[in-house]
Chain A
Amino acid sequence: MYDPRLSVIGERLSGISRIIVVSSGKGGVGKSLIASTISLLLARRGFKVGLLDLDFTSPTTHVVLGARGIHPSEDRGIVPPTVHGIKYMSLIFYLGDQLAPLRGSELSNALLEVLSVILWGNIDFLIIDMPPGISDPMLDVLKYVRGARFLIVTSPSKMAFETVRKLLLLLKSLKAPVIGVIENMKMDESEYVRREVEALGEIFLGEIHFDRKLEESLGSVSKLLETGFAREVEEIIQRILTP
C-alpha cells in the first residue's frame, strides 16, 4: 500500500519562495502572535504571504486575526481564504469550536492531508505556526517541508529556554537552517537568553518587551499593528530580510 500524498507535497509547496517555521518547543511563549504579526507585516510590505496554523489541537491564530465567518474554497484542491491580505489556513475552518483530541499518528495524518491538498499558488512567504513540543508535527515538518527555515521563539524564562536549547541542538544536528531566536515577553534587562543563544552559535534576533496593551488588540488587526509589540516585531523582520 502506497500513500499518494507523499509524492505531491513538493509540488504543492513549489510556488513558495521562502518557508519560515515559527517554533519553540515550549507553549505559551507567543509563537502564534509572532507568526500572525510577521505575516501581517510582510503583507503590508507588499509581499504575497501565506499563514498556516499547524497547531491542530489548539489553533489560535484565528483569534489574533479576528478570522471568523470565512471558509476555504475548492478548485481542484483547497484554496485558502484571504484574510487581511494573507492566504490563511487553519484547521479551525473544519473543527469550528470543537476540540479535536488527536494522537501522534493522527496529527501526522492531518498534517500530510493539509500539505497535500492546499493550493498556495505562487507566494513570497509561507509562515507556519507550529504547535508546542518537539514531537510528531515537528518531525513531520522536518521530513516533508523541504527548504523550511526555523524561527525560534522563547520567553525569558530559564524553563522555556531549557526546551528551546534542546530544539536548537536537534535542528543543528539535523543541519536544519535556523534563522535565529526571538526573546518574547521581556520584562527585565537580563542577558541570559542572548548569552545562551550566542554560546550555541545561533543568531539572537532581538527581544520583544511584554506589552500590557497586546491582549486588548487580539481580533483587531489595526489595533495589533499599532502596538509596541508589532513595532518590535517589525524591527526583527527588518533584520531577517536584510542579507
Chain B
Amino acid sequence: MHEWALAEAVISSLNDIADREGLKEVREVHLRVGELQQVDGEILLFALSQMKSGKLANTKFILKTSRAKFKCRVCGHKWSLREVKAADEVKESIHFIPEAAHAYLRCPKCNSPDFEVSSGRGLWIASVRGVK
C-alpha cells in the first residue's frame, strides 16, 4: 500500500528530527494529512505502529485531515474537493500523485485548469514533542 511508503517517510524524518534536536525519545507527533491524497488514516497509523522503534518506540501519533480546497488562478473562484465528482480511477491517480488533479479537475466557474491547491495537499509533520 502507498500508505506504507508514506509511513516510512514519516519514520525516517522523525529519526532525522530527533537526531538534529538531540531528543532521547519522541513522545507525541501530530500529522496533517491532506484530503486530496485520500490517504487511509487507519492504514497509515497501523504502518507507523509497525515501523516505530528506538527513539520512536513509544511515540503517540495523532492524525488530522485537512480539507482539500482549490482556488482558480484565473477568476479567483474557490471550491472544495467535496464538491467534485470524480471517477474512481481519477481518485486513484490523485491518490498517488496529487498533481494529477490538474489533469482532471477544472475550475467549476470558468473551466480553467490553472488553479492552486490552497490546502489539503500531501502529508506533513505538524509538530513533534520529545524528551532531551
Contacts and interface: CB of A to CB of B under 8 A. Distances in A.
Nearest to A1: B124
Nearest to A78: B96
B40 interface: no
Interface stretch (B7-15, B53-61, B76-84): B7-15
Interface in B65-122: 93, 96-100, 102-104, 113-114, 121-122
B99 A117 contact: no
Interface residues of B, number: 32
Nearest to A77: B5
B9 A1 contact: no
Nearest to A116: B9
Which DSSP category, helix, strand, loop or mixed, fits chain B's interface?
helix
Interface residues of A, number: 34
A102 B12 contact: no
A7 B16 CA distance: 7
A7 B9 contact: yes
A14 B34 CA distance: 28
Nearest to B102: A100
A213 B25 CA distance: 64
B62 interface: no
A76 B12 CA distance: 15
Contacts, number: 99
Given A3-B122, A77-B2, A109-B121, A102 B99 contact: yes
Contact of B13 (A7, A99, A103): A7
B124 to A, nearest CB: 5
Contact of B93 (A11, A95, A116): A95
A1 B125 contact: yes
Contacts of A11: 8, 12
A76 B102 contact: no
Given A76-B4, A77-B5, A78-B2, A56 B99 contact: yes
In this complex, the member of A7, A74, A99, A114 whose beta carbon has the largest number of chain B beta carbons within 10 angstroms is A7
B23 interface: no
A117 B2 contact: yes
A134 to B, nearest CB: 21
B19 to A, nearest CB: 11
Given A74-B1, A95-B93, A101-B114, A4 B6 contact: yes
Nearest to B92: A94
Given A77-B4, A78-B2, A109-B121, A4 B9 contact: yes
B63 interface: no
Interface string A42-84: 0000000000000010000000000000001010111000000
A102 B102 contact: yes
Contacts of B114: 101, 103
Interface of A: 1-8, 11, 56, 72, 74, 76-78, 91, 94-96, 98-103, 106-107, 109-110, 113-114, 116-117, 119
Closest 5 CB pairs of A and B: A77-B5, A98-B103, A76-B4, A8-B9, A7-B13
Interface of B: 1-2, 4-6, 8-10, 12-13, 15-17, 32, 93, 96-100, 102-104, 113-114, 121-126, 128
25 contacts: A1-B125, A2-B13, A2-B17, A3-B124, A3-B125, A4-B125, A5-B122, A5-B123, A7-B13, A8-B13, A56-B99, A74-B2, A76-B4, A76-B5, A77-B8, A78-B2, A94-B103, A95-B100, A95-B103, A101-B113, A102-B102, A109-B99, A117-B2, A117-B5, A117-B96
